[in-house]
Amino acid sequence: MLPYKEACRTCVFWRPSISYNSIGLCIKREVIRLITDWGGDCYSRLNLSKFSMMWCATCNRVVHEAEYEDHIFHELYPPPYVDLSIVEEIYGG
């Protein structure tokens, strides 16, 4: 397993999936990446101060920068991407 500091989840270009917490979208390469994948040559370390809103994967909700201290030990990521094709995975019943 890769060191946490080099994984895609710590990259500024990685956006978590709102539906699946183990995958996300690399907005630089426009590809789906696992949370543990290595960032490679486009990797740029995530800095919380660049975002006014973040996704808290622990609470499963968006938090404002004023709430960051309340989520200090949680998993914070840039705002998630919403896969519009997710509706295809929902079964009618």
Helix (H, G, I), strand (E, B) or coil at 36: coil
Helix (H, G, I), strand (E, B) or coil at 39: coil
Radius of gyration of the CA atoms of the chain, in A: 14
Token pair of 19 as six digits? 């539906």
Token pair of 37 as six digits? 């994948």
Burial of 16 (0-12, 13-18, 19+ CB in 10 A): buried
What does the pLDDT look like over 29-69, one tens digit per residue? 999 999 889 877 888 888 878 889 999 999 999 999 999 99
The pLDDT value recorded for residue 16 is 92
